[in-house]
Chains A and B, each alone.
Chain A
């Protein structure tokens, strides 16, 4: 029983980080109808930025001061410089966006590999390896910090989207672009804002993941799988759906390792996704 609770607790903590990574991906998919394959690769980029700064004695949490604004600008630039020109040319948006962003992800992966090598890296901070004991549960501080960071960011995103005027504009464009444009909402600005927010959140997720896991340039493919799972289970464009789905995926992955050999865990995840797709193709929480 203690084992089950322990697996559940760690699963929920890592699940929160998956939720954040999925939320930004989901936002871009929902608002701009772009499947942004480079999203988790950018998170890996953020993890390397943390690694670089940590080597100079900067705490991962402090590195957010650099990562968040930088990634916001990257997101805006990515929309204005890459996605918008591609969309204006026409063609199948899904196809164009997936191939385009896969190309960028492959390029980024190899840039990281060229600089740091293909091997895995770990960020070591003062509290690495320390844990909080809570009624027999062992909660590593890095996990708590990562999950806390993700939770705060998700809450901030939620408040922004629901309580502020620009955030409401983002949701309006997601629900009905023509209607939003008729209400004098500037589609271009709002879409750029969405990209900025989503990529900044990917940066935060990268920082959180760097705290919890080791990472390598190729890690983004595995993270991409989790992102897909979160978005499909949670429903595209739904922030709360992403939160529930992230926790579900995290908990399920961890719990399944108790019952079946570790290596089979991904398979169970994929199989449950297959069943879900047959039963509710647009996710559990799609409105």
Chain B
């Protein structure tokens, strides 16, 4: 995507709430920004470094619980404490990340999944977090439309920060290092890539951004419970969106998030939640079978009008 198009898009999104846009489109866009931020954040460790986390809901939930508890205890607005939520999630990633990142491939995936379930079990048993009753927050006495606008801008800001961070990592030196780790960790280490430091930084950054999203989401929901703040579906959804869009680029997950969010919304509105989940699950399976590299490489190819066999995308082309 060229810079001008991206800048134009951001301006349109910034102005959108003031051209008579109703609550529903704003809410839909809000959740799209949220999904996009989650997917881009996941991609920093899962896509660039190839460490497939299936437990990013852990960081999301930690961020949400941090802002929630701050609001309940001190009255500080989550719009202010969201960065603290990010810090808590990042801190947890720093602690848990070291042992986890010693594991590779399927082991890392499984352990991160278990980690999320473990943190959920802990929160469910800590009385000061509201435990199994959940935590209620009071929203400021805003008009519904005002509240929607506020959350729209908050999540847009989070998504932009996340996208810029993802872009900076991908295009910077760190991205090269992470790519080397993904392709061959031993070889990367032997030529002097600081493997442990890079993996840790990627996980901490990814967790922090995910915590930021969770912090805002919790406030919007105004009631949080471990069951949906640490939901495994959310972890897998982040993976799916990045996978669908294309894991090699920083922008791919955004595309994946937009597609997933819109399809999900359409299905839920048209056929109801249960049937939507069935279709969604099967569609997900189909997408994986048909498009293992994601959408973006195919779109790129279309744009260049240079058809190639749908084999693996060379590393040089992977950079966007």
Contacts and interface: CB of A to CB of B under 8 A. Distances in A.
Interface of A: 29, 33, 35, 82, 85-86, 89-92, 94-96, 98-100, 102-111, 113-114, 221, 225, 228-229, 231-232, 261, 263-264, 266-267, 270-271, 273-274, 277-278, 281-282
B127 to A, nearest CB: 11
A89 to B, nearest CB: 5
Contacts of B282: 103-104, 107
A228 B110 CA distance: 7
A99 B236 contact: yes
B113 A86 contact: no
Contacts of B280: 103, 106-107
A86 B281 CA distance: 15
Interface in B85-142: 99-100, 102-103, 105-107, 109-111, 113-115, 117-118, 121-122, 124-125
A86 B287 CA distance: 10
A62 B219 CA distance: 53
B243 interface: yes
A112 to B, nearest CB: 10
A282 B106 CA distance: 11
Nearest to B50: A92
B34 to A, nearest CB: 20
B118 A86 contact: no
A108 B274 CA distance: 11
Given A92-B50, A266-B121, A99 B109 contact: no
A113 B278 CA distance: 10
Contact of A100 (B274, B284, B311): B284
Contacts of A282: 107
B269 interface: no
B232 A221 contact: yes
Contacts of A29: 106
B281 A105 contact: yes
Given A96-B288, A282-B107, 8 more contacts: A82-B289, A90-B292, A98-B236, A99-B243, A107-B277, A261-B125, A264-B121, A270-B117
A277 B111 contact: yes
Nearest to A29: B106
Interface residues of B, number: 46
A106 B285 CA distance: 10
Contacts of B288: 86, 91, 96, 99-100, 103
Given A104-B281, A114-B278, A281 B102 contact: yes
Given A99-B239, A114-B274, A263-B125, A89 B289 contact: yes
B126 to A, nearest CB: 10
Contact of A96 (B102, B118, B275, B292): B292
Give the secondary structure class of B's interface.
Answer: helix
A110 B274 contact: yes
B6 interface: no
B278 A110 contact: yes
29 contacts: A29-B106, A35-B109, A82-B285, A86-B292, A94-B106, A95-B109, A98-B106, A98-B109, A98-B239, A100-B284, A102-B236, A103-B280, A104-B282, A106-B277, A106-B281, A107-B277, A107-B278, A107-B279, A107-B285, A108-B281, A114-B274, A231-B110, A232-B107, A232-B111, A270-B118, A270-B121, A271-B118, A277-B111, A281-B103
- Among B100, B125, B281, the one with the most A-chain Cβ atoms within 10 Å of its Cβ is B281
A107 B236 CA distance: 14
A225 B99 contact: no
A158 B215 CA distance: 50
A100 B99 CA distance: 27
A35 B125 CA distance: 30
Nearest to B279: A107
B41 interface: no
Contact of A278 (B99, B115, B290): B99
Interface in B222-277: 232-233, 236, 239-240, 243, 274-275, 277
Contacts of A98: 52, 54, 106, 109, 236, 239
B7 to A, nearest CB: 33
Contacts of A35: 106, 109-110
Given A110-B277, A221-B232, A103 B117 contact: no
Nearest to A81: B289
B105 A94 contact: yes
- Among B100, B103, B285, the one with the most A-chain Cβ atoms within 10 Å of its Cβ is B285
Contacts of B275: 110, 114
B18 to A, nearest CB: 39
Nearest to A106: B281
A115 B16 CA distance: 43
B156 to A, nearest CB: 28
A264 B113 CA distance: 18
A229 B118 CA distance: 12
A273 B281 contact: no
B312 interface: yes
B203 to A, nearest CB: 16
B176 to A, nearest CB: 20
Nearest to A113: B274
A281 B110 contact: no
B118 A267 contact: yes
B293 interface: yes
B277 A266 contact: no
